[in-house]
Chains A and B, each alone.
Chain A
Amino acid sequence: MVLKVDIKKNIDNRMINKKFELDNDILIFYGASGSGKTTILNCIAGLKNPDSGFIELKGNTYFSSESNVNIPPFKRKIGYIFQDYALFPHLNVLDNIKYSKKNTKYDEDNLEKIINKCHVKHLIKRYPNTLSGGEKQRVALARALMIEPDLLLLDEPLSSVDNEMKIKLMREIKNIQKEWKIPFIYVTHSKNEARFLGNKLLSFNSNKEVEINEYKENIS
C-alpha cells in the first residue's frame, strides 16, 4: 500500500479515529459539513497534528506518535487543493503554478506538460481574481502537480463550479489520477461526486461519539 493512515484526533470534544490504507486509487472522504473530513486531510498534509497514531506514505513515516516523528508539511511532498483553491492573489497564474519551484531549477518540459494537461496555457498571465471557478480549480491542480506529489488531497474542489463544468472537471481529475498513478483523497459531501470519482469511500457520518470507520471497496 502507498498510504497507510491510522490516526486519532479530537475535534470539539469528539474523538475521530480514522484507519485506512490506499494504493494508487481515489479515496473519497464522504460526510456532512463539520464531520472532520478537512481536519483529517490537514493532519495528513501536516497542517494539523493528530493526537496519536501514524501516517506513512511510500514507506516514509510522516507522523508517528509512538516514535515521536512529525515531518513538517513543506517536506511531505503532498499536493493539496484547498476549498476555494487558495491561489495567491498577488501572483499571476504562471507564478502560482511555479511557486513550489521558485528557488530551485525545474524541468521546463514538465511545466509545459502540466500546463497543457490542466488546460491553463491561455490563462498564465492572468491573476486569480479574473478566473472562473473552473479555471481556478485547474490552476490549483497544476500548482499542486508541480511539486510532483506522492499523494494529492482535494478538499471539495468542485463546490463552487456549475454542474456542467463539474462533470468535465471530474473527468479530468480521474484522467490525471490514472496518468500520474498516485493516490488521491477527495473530500466531498456530494453523493454524485463520490459515485463518479471514488474507487473507495471512507464515511465520516456517524452520531456515535467514537466513530467507527466504514471502508468500502465500492460505493453502494
Chain B
Amino acid sequence: MKHSIFKYIMISIFIIFAVFIVVVLISPTLYIKTSNLINLLINNQEITFSLILSLTTSLSAVFMATIFGVPVAYVLSRYDFKFKNIIDIILDIPLVLPPIILGLSLLVLLGPIGGNYLAKIGLNFVFTRLGIVMAQFVVCAPLLIRSLKIAFSSIDPKLEKAAMTLGDNHFQVFKNITIPLSKDGIITGVTTAWARAMGEFGATVMLAGATRFKTETLPIAVYLNMNTGNLEMAVTVSIVMIVFSILIMGILKIYNNNQKRGVTQWF
C-alpha cells in the first residue's frame, strides 16, 4: 500500500513536469497561424540568413572546441600534476557563469586589450562573425570537455597499457583504443556542445553585437524581432530553434539506444 502511494506521488509529479515542458515547447506554435508560419519559413530571407549563419558558426565553434577539448580532457583524465584540481575548476567555470559575463570578458580581451595586436594578423573578433564563433566556442567547449573527461576516465588504463605492450605507440593507442572506447561520450559531448552553440546568445551579443543580416544568428534574430515588436517573426524563429533542438536530442537518443543494444555485445 505504502509502495503504491509512493509510486502514485512520483508518477504524478513526473506527469505534471513532462506536460509543463511539452506545453512550454509547443506554445509558440499556438500563437501563429500555420499558413503564416509556412509563408515566413519559405519566403523570409532573414530566417534563412540566421539559420545558415547559426549553422556555420556553431559548427566552426564545435570543431574548434573538439580540437582543443580532446587533448584538454585527456590530460585532465590521465595525468596528475600540480594545481590540477584548481585548473579543472577554472575550466568548468564557464558552465556556471552567465554567458553575458563571458561575452564581456571576451570583448575586453579581444577589443581594448588585444584587439590591435590581433588586427595586425588579420583577426577581428569584435562585432564580426569571427566573434560569434569565438563566443560560441568559449561557451560550448567546457560542456564538451566535461563530457569527454567522463568518457576518457571510464576507460580502464590497463587497456591502453596492453595496447602498448602489443606494439602501439602513444598515438596509435589513442587512435585504436582510447577513441573507439570513448566514441559514445565524444558523440554525446559534440552533439550537446553543438546544440549549446546554436542557442548561444549572451556572449555572442556582447562580443559580436546584434546587427541585422550581419551577426544575426537565430537567437539574435528572436531578440531583434522582439525589440521591433515583430512577435510573429520572433515566434517563427523560436519554432525553428525548438524543432532543431528536438531533432538533435531525438537523434542522440536513438543513437544511444542503438549503441546500448550493440554495446551489450562487448560490455
Contacts and interface: CB of A to CB of B under 8 A. Distances in A.
Interface of A: 42, 45-47, 72-74, 76, 78-80, 82, 84, 86, 88-91, 99-100, 102, 127-129, 143-144, 146-147
A82 B266 contact: no
A78 B181 contact: no
Among B158, B164, B167, B267, which residue has the most Cβ atoms of chain A within 10 A? Answer: B167
Interface in B166-182: 166-169, 172, 176-177, 180-181
Contacts, number: 66
Given A89-B266, A127-B266, A100 B161 contact: no
A109 B210 CA distance: 69
B80 interface: no
B158 A100 contact: no
A74 B266 contact: no
23 contacts: A45-B161, A45-B165, A46-B165, A47-B164, A72-B169, A73-B165, A78-B165, A79-B165, A80-B162, A86-B156, A86-B162, A88-B162, A88-B163, A88-B177, A90-B180, A91-B266, A99-B163, A99-B166, A100-B167, A129-B264, A129-B267, A143-B166, A147-B165
Contact of A74 (B168, B264, B265): B168
Contacts of B163: 88, 99
Nearest to B169: A74
A49 B141 CA distance: 35
B248 interface: no
B158 A86 contact: yes
A47 B177 CA distance: 16
Contacts of B177: 88
A36 to B, nearest CB: 17
A89 B160 CA distance: 12
A99 to B, nearest CB: 5
Among B163, B166, B181, which residue has the most Cβ atoms of chain A within 10 A? Answer: B166
B98 to A, nearest CB: 40
B226 interface: no
Contact of A82 (B161, B168, B176): B161
Contacts of B158: 82, 84, 86
B267 A89 contact: yes
A99 B172 CA distance: 12
Given A42-B161, A127-B265, 4 more contacts: A74-B166, A90-B180, A91-B266, A129-B266
A84 B162 CA distance: 11
Among A79, A99, A143, A147, which residue has the most Cβ atoms of chain B within 10 A? Answer: A99
B266 A128 contact: yes
A80 B162 CA distance: 7
B159 interface: yes
A56 B109 CA distance: 55
A192 B164 CA distance: 31
Contacts of B161: 42, 45, 47, 73, 80, 82, 86
A143 B165 CA distance: 10
Nearest to B168: A74
A86 B159 contact: yes
A45 B162 CA distance: 10
Contacts of B168: 74
B166 A129 contact: no
B265 A147 contact: no
B266 A90 contact: yes
Contacts of B176: 102
Interface string B254-267: 00000000001111
A40 to B, nearest CB: 15
A100 B168 CA distance: 8
